[in-house]
Structure 1
Amino acid sequence: MHSNAAGPRPGGTGHAERVFRVQRAFTDLGGSVHGPGELAERSGLDDSTVFRILQSGVYQGVFERVGRGRYRLGTGTAHLSLHALAHAPGDAAHTALEELREATGGGLVLLYMLAPFSGAHRQCIDMAVGDSDLAELGLSTREVLTVTRSLRTGASGRTILAYLPDAIQERVLAEPVPDGAGPGVYRDNDALLRSLADIRDQGHATGYQECMPGWNSCAAPVLWHDSIVGSTLLLKPADVIPEPPLAVIEATKTTAAKLSSYSSAPFPTP
């Protein structure tokens, strides 16, 4: 029987704290399905406590039983994430994108979020493009919505991928490079993995014609309670920024930090 294998943790020892430990153990371990024993060891709780939490969580939809003695996070967890997104200050988020575009002298600013129902992909949910016509700029709807779905493609995709568990990274690296990706896309997985380490170390990514020819980019992570939910992306023509200047990088990181702060924003009152 496991007992405090992960060492003492702050935050008290109440029932809610123990439930959160078990939930966090799933994400820390990676993969999708785990048994009570390994969850107990990771969470620092004894086997019987973890088993009771799992049994109760199955009833509440927080966990799902898979086969005999194996569990995974349930759809109730996704429901909580969607509820949080529904109460995020959307107008303020769009304003932040517009401010980034203005502060960096134009270009295109996009907000990507980790897509909840399409596997390990990202989805563009908002953008600030001024009076620009994407077609006139050489960008098609297919490129924005299809090529850029892959987390292995582009600064914004790699930024999200850098903060995901190893198991998801391995799944993404096993995917082919999307058709239509730019000449700067990472095709070598070892080089791609090294870029992810750099992103975590520096807090941003730069991209050179990765998603589309002729466009360079800078991206920074949007983190809610230390969990990656998306990334902010600034795109400019490659001849305008052959190398993203420090001011552009810092402005992008500042905007991503502002969006990250919305995780602690108060819920609206009736």
Structure 2
Amino acid sequence: MGHHITASQSTVPDAAQHAGRPKGTPSTGSRTSGSSHAERVFLVQAAFAELGGSAHGPGEIAEVTGLDDSVVYRILQSGIYQRIFERVDRGLYRLRTSAAQLAFTALDHRLDGAQAVLRQLRAATGNGLAFLYMVAPFSGAQRQCVDMAVGDSDLAELGMTPRDVLSVTRSLRTGASGRTILAYLPEVLQQRVLAEPVPEQAGPGVYRDNDALLASLAEVRDLGYALGYEECMAGWNSCAAPIMWDGSIMGAVLLLKLKSVMPVAPDGVIEATKEAAAELSRYGAARPAADDA
């Protein structure tokens, strides 16, 4: 589960073991110096995202990237002066908050037009309630509702409270959109979510057994969508599909309808939800410059 970081195919034997690693300790594969310094720096940066947690040592990063410990150490030291990394304890490093600023800059304007996509989904599903959930910017193991198309509906009259939207639906354990996002997160973040309690306000259909929840995640990846039956709130069923940017999960489109109206999601609802998510995924896809086309 999760996206494993691959190093360059130009590998060399690990001639010099790190002093702190006992002989014979298995690694993720042959160590490599990488095909370029830039590639090695990118691998180290990406390793922090894969490992999760607050801080990591050169040895951990070396295992994930396939780079020599000494190469990782030099990159970390150089990155401190370039304000990419910071040392938080002896032998432990983490990304600086400047990395978050880069991410926010990269995301700027990527979701322009999302409201139109959600309105189209609402129209295509007989006035279903359409929501856009994105991975919460300050926690990779939660989600946040950033847009919706509900027409003139008053959510309170429909039985939804701010707690439903902001509390119960924040957890990735609950609802089709939560499980859709969770299915594509790295395993380290999945385990964090599995360790969380089920929100008290969750609906009767929420997955309470972790084994069943994990099995549902595999199904989401196989099908490319998730169906929810009263997971977040009693009386409401749902369908969700993932928004992927550059191979990484960024969020999910959710279509919600009353159970009395949609006891089972028909093919038309599933396809419309998947198409809306695919359209928003295209918004985040890298596009070649005009002179590169």
TM-score by length of 1: 0.89
What do the CA deviations read for 1:168-201 (whole angstroms, capped 9, x no partner)?
Answer: 2122112111122111011111111111111112
Return the alpha-carbon distance in structure 2 between the equivalents of residues 88 and 145 of structure 1: 23
CA contact (8 A) 2:205 2:231 kept: yes
Call closer, same or farther: CA 1:238–1:95 in 2, change over 3 Å: same
Change (3 A) 1:264 1:60: farther
In 1, distance between residues paired with 2:136 and 2:101?
Answer: 13
> Per-residue deviation at 1:15?
2.8
Q: How many residues align?
A: 264
Question: Aligned equivalents of 1:7 and 1:253: distance in 2?
Answer: 40
Answer yes or no: is 1:40 the counterpart of 2:62: yes
2: distance between equivalents of 1:206 and 1:61?
A: 43
C-alpha contact 2:246 2:286 (8 A) present in aligned 1? no
Equivalent residue, structure 1, for 2:254 = 233
Please name the residue that 1:151 is paired with: 172
Whether the aligned pair in 1 keeps the contact of 2:174 and 2:231 (CA below 8 Å) is: yes
Structure 1 distance, partners of 2:252, 2:236, is 17
Q: Distance in 1 between matches of 2:67 and 2:131?
A: 42
Residue 122 (structure 2) aligned to one of 101, 105, 117: 101
- C-alpha contact (below 8 Å) 1:6/1:42 kept by paired residues: no
Question: Is 1:222–1:231's contact at 8 Å kept on the other side of the alignment?
Answer: yes
Q: Which moved more, 1:174-183 or 1:72-81?
A: 72-81
Which runs of 5 or more structure 2 residues have no equivalent in the other structure?
A: 1-12, 16-26, 289-293
Alignment of 1:61-76 (within 5 A): 61-76=83-98
Question: What's the CA shift for 1:93?
Answer: 1.3
1:66 aligned counterpart, secondary structure: strand
The one-letter code of the counterpart of 1:149 is R
CA-atom RMSD in angstroms: 2.4
Q: Distance in 2 between matches of 1:201 and 1:115?
A: 24
Please tell me whether the aligned partners of residues 229 and 236 of structure 2 are also in contact (alpha carbons under 8 angstroms).
Answer: yes
Distance 1:219 1:8 in 2: 40
Instruction: Specify the SS of the correspondent of 1:229.
Output: strand
**CA deviation after TM superposition for structure 1 residue 121, in Å:** 1.5
Partner SS state of residue 89, structure 2: coil
Distance 1:230-1:106 versus aligned 2 partners, 3 A rule: same
Is the 8 Å Cα contact of residues 147 and 181 (structure 1) preserved in structure 2?
yes
1:56 aligned to which of 78, 83, 98: 78
Deviations 1:83-118 (A, max 9, x none): 12223142x111111111111111100001111225
* Distance in 2, Cα, partners of 1:7 & 1:94: 48
Q: Deviations over 1:128-183 (max 9, x none)?
A: 11121111211112111111111101111111111112222122112111122111
Alignment match, 1:192: 213
How far the C-alpha of 1:59 sits from its partner, in A, is: 2.8
Candidates 8, 22, 40, aligned match of 2:44: 22
For the pair 1:212 / 2:247, whether they are aligned, the reply is no
Q: Which structure dedicates a bigger proportion of its chain to helix?
A: 1
| CA deviation map 1:31-81 (0-9, x unaligned) | 443222332233233333222221222233322323111222332222222
One-letter code aligned to 1:259: L
Q: Residues 75 and 255 of structure 1: is their aligned pair in 2 closer, same or farther, counting only changes over 3 Å? A: same
Q: Is the 8 A contact 2:51 2:188 kept in 1?
A: no
Quick one: percent identity of the two aligned structures?
A: 65
3-state DSSP class of the match of 1:120? coil
Cα separation, 2, equivalents of 1:40 and 1:72: 14
Q: Tell me, in whole angstroms, the C-alpha distance in 1 between the residues paired with 2:38 and 2:79.
A: 12
Moved more, 227-236 or 167-176: 167-176
Distance 2:241 2:44 in 1: 29
Query: Are 2:126 and 1:134 equivalent residues in the alignment?
Result: no
Cα distance in 2 for partners of 1:221, 1:262 equals 13
